[in-house]
Structure 1
């Protein structure tokens, strides 16, 4: 094979740039009308972006954010123990980075175990135990509380939703009817109503000497609500599988339970992964409703700061920062789900 000459190698970037310009000209300026629409849209985007940057760097006062950054990260967590939620969130950020850009094969091999251990480690770090000082859930808040609510609710909602999906496909009328009634009820009731019912009704079903804190009640309520939507996503994945998969499993001598566990369910979860990732992002965003119930997650922190007379006129800065923070976390979740989907598709 003839090696490429230096002139040919040097001309490759020029050819790529010319190809890009040709493609842009063909797609954006093909006709005079296309060119006019492109110029109008680019002018509007430039004007909005310029005005936003001018406000952000000249008129906005970001002291409300920079001066209260520990509150946004961990709420009213004890200052001398602040390293605990910060360490847990740093570990979460590190695992997210390793998931998106895994280094060696050994690191990629240990990532699933690290993700599984992250939630119990986070609970110990925030609540205390194993030599750590106990901290009441009333002092949890900010980004740490938002992430903990999302992770704990998702861990409960995924298996519960899978069981509901299997129950709705059951041939037993009582099992099928119960699962269908639960799913349709949860999907027909607004989440805020479910949250209020959960906060008020869960203590009524417990013995008098039992007490469930607000964070645990919020986790159980969010999980019960999200499980109904997860069940429909998993059921759609099961319905997308051809009947030949089940027939082949039975031909190999597998029982119905074994065929579902080892053949059907893994494929259904792979198919439903984009929808499940969307549910995870929605679950993170739905935690903002808990501010109405008195939990000081990200939106609760913002509302408490805006009630301070020193920051009464800083609504725009607070909500822009809040939107940026939610966008960053949701984007990382979406990218990790996309990487997992690509990896599973390569395995397939």
Structure 2
């Protein structure tokens, strides 16, 4: 009798719990649907997207000369093609071996197309802007900061006390200051340390500043991957006659990079988003284009449309970067299982 009463009480509790969960789910669903409907109504019927339609080339290329805009357009198309090939690599496996070299070379190709020379009309970096400049800053900073971060991580793990101390001081110093301070240093103080007659453009000063800052965070991510590798693998490498450099190159570092890949992806996405800080310092990257358009009397009051458009572009690019990283992570997991 007592058992039947306890069962009845529990059944009532379960019914009440399921009914309350259903009510909460319905309320949340109604709220989400109302937000989606209101947003769609605003996007389709209320918002004035003329500020975007009339200035779409400006968002893409900035003030790049009109007759030469095929060069940044070609670079963006190459990136889109390379992204599609990477995501569809499982269907076309014959291109898999050439993809790493293609991704490494895409940044030098972009620099050549934008800067000119060697048969192309030279274009000063002050004319670079928009989405092209945002991607270039992200790609070049990532390309330079990854090897520097690896060197710093290995230096912090070094047995030589002087190298370990220098690496630790650099990493801790960079991680203790805000990014905007490093960017101000790059824009205002780097020219003071250069010899007379040598000048670095504002774009490359920004890339140097981003590289110096992000490499410290990359070093810590990779150091976490290095610490996750058991000492038995290092001992096994020594047992088969490998020296320390070979053990690091063939055993330790590949595994550390694979372990640190999710964290490195976050750093890359954060780097893309942090390029918007350059709008404060005068570079007309993607956010800088939006700010300059809002200063135009013709588009006064179109703040929401501009920032929604910019948010959509940043979301799209960040999503593509996350998909590429997930694709690489799955590929590395498959290769590890096949070993």
TM-score by length of 1: 0.90
Tell me if 1:86 matches 2:70: no
Cα deviations by residue, 1:301-321 (Å, 9 ceiling, x for unpaired): 000000001111000000000
What corresponds to 1:57 in structure 2? 44
Superposed, 1:186-201 pairs within 5 Å as 186-201=174-189
- Post-superposition shift, 1:335? 0.4
What corresponds to 2:145 in structure 1? 157
Q: Separation in 1 of the partners of 2:141 and 2:130?
A: 17
- Post-superposition shift, 1:149? 0.3
What corresponds to 2:328 in structure 1? 340
Cα deviations by residue, 1:313-334 (Å, 9 ceiling, x for unpaired): 0000000000000000000000
Q: Separation in 2 of the partners of 1:83 and 1:180?
A: 45
What corresponds to 2:243 in structure 1? 255
Tell me if 1:66 matches 2:88: no
Tell me if 1:114 matches 2:102: yes
Say which SS state the counterpart of residue 195 (structure 1) adopts.
helix
Tell me if 1:301 matches 2:289: yes
Superposed, 1:69-148 pairs within 5 Å as 69-102=56-89, 103-148=91-136
Q: Separation in 1 of the partners of 2:29 and 2:212?
A: 45
- Post-superposition shift, 1:275? 0.5
What corresponds to 2:13 in structure 1? none
Cα deviations by residue, 1:28-83 (Å, 9 ceiling, x for unpaired): x9811110111011011011111111111111000000100000001000000011
The range that moved more, 194-203 or 105-114, is 105-114
What corresponds to 1:181 in structure 2? 169
1:225 to 213, 218, 222: 213
Alpha-carbon RMSD across the aligned residues, in angstroms, is: 1.1
TM-score by length of 2: 0.93
Q: Separation in 1 of the partners of 2:188 and 2:270?
A: 24
Q: Separation in 2 of the partners of 1:173 and 1:195?
A: 30
Tell me if 1:202 matches 2:190: yes
What corresponds to 1:22 in structure 2? none
Structure 1: stretches of 5+ with no match in the other structure: 1-28
- Post-superposition shift, 1:114? 1.6
- Post-superposition shift, 1:115? 1.3
Q: Separation in 2 of the partners of 1:108 and 1:178?
A: 39
Tell me if 1:246 matches 2:231: no
- Post-superposition shift, 1:175? 1.1
In the alignment of these two chains, the number of paired residues is 320
Q: Separation in 1 of the partners of 2:299 and 2:96?
A: 45
- Post-superposition shift, 1:113? 2.0
The range that moved more, 169-178 or 261-270, is 169-178
What corresponds to 2:225 in structure 1? 237
- Post-superposition shift, 1:108? 2.3
Say which SS state the counterpart of residue 212 (structure 1) adopts.
coil
Say which SS state the counterpart of residue 31 (structure 1) adopts.
helix
- Post-superposition shift, 1:247? 0.6
Structure 2: stretches of 5+ with no match in the other structure: 1-15
Say which SS state the counterpart of residue 159 (structure 2) adopts.
coil
Runs of 4+, deviation exceeding 3 Å: none
What corresponds to 1:267 in structure 2? 255
Say which SS state the counterpart of residue 242 (structure 2) adopts.
coil
Q: Separation in 1 of the partners of 2:105 and 2:183?
A: 28
